Amino acid sequence: MSGEPATGTGPVRRLPRAQRRAQILDAATRAFARTGYADTSLDDVALEAGISRVLLYRHFESKNEMYRAALDHARARLDERVGTQHFTDHSIPAFLDAASDDPDGFRLLFQHAAREPEFRDLTDRLTRASTELALRQLREIIPDPAWARWAARMVFTVAIEGAIAWLDAGRPDPDQAAARIEAAVHGVIEAARAS
């Protein structure tokens, strides 16, 4: 006997605390990405994780805390893959690889949290940081400050929406997807430079 409550599928295997927390975060990310924050219950997360709701409360005090932890986890994974210091030729392929490897976390960050006022602050901070990073680099190649600001916002939006549209389309042509999104981003940059 493991000493932990049983779920509908049998006894829950005892895991080290950090491993159990990671399991719950992964399950929460999948559940929240399917139906969003409001329409996902703690029972949905427990079922997804294969554990009891009581066990969830040993790791998270509330659904809100769990959701924020899932968003933070998804952002940390993205930052680790893409970096946060500057954009390079490898940034978009890394961004797309991150979306492909963790589509639920990616959707949570860029689709669900952006629409949920209670968690919009995290998405806004991510957008602001990415836009400022892009702007520092784009100022060097786009002489008009207003168009440089426009391009900085647009390249981030194009990269996100391009990645989500690619996921939604079933991830077609994975070897060429990054190049196609890069072409769209470069189109934005060229449009801003043309002014």
Angle at 62 between CA 61 and CA 65, to 5 degrees: 90
Task: Measure the CA dihedral 57/118/168/129, to 10°.
Answer: -110
pLDDT at 8: 45
Please, where in the chain does CATH 1.10.357.10 lie? Answer: 67-193
Domain 67-193 has CATH 1.10.357.10: yes
Mean pLDDT over 62-74 rounds to 93
Residue 97 has pLDDT above 80, yes or no: yes
Mean pLDDT over 19-26 rounds to 91
pLDDT at 80: 86
14-18, 27-31, 77-81, 154-158: which range is least confident on average? Answer: 14-18
Please, where in the chain does CATH 1.10.10.60 lie? Answer: 6-60
Residue 168 has pLDDT above 60, yes or no: yes
pLDDT at 148: 96
Domain 6-60 has CATH 1.20.120.420: no
In whole angstroms, give the CA distance from residue 47 to residue 27. Answer: 9
pTM: 0.81
pLDDT band at 41 (very low <50, low <70, confident <90, very high): very high
pLDDT band at 125 (very low <50, low <70, confident <90, very high): confident
Please report, rounded to a whole number, the percentage of residues in the chain having pLDDT higher than 70. Answer: 92
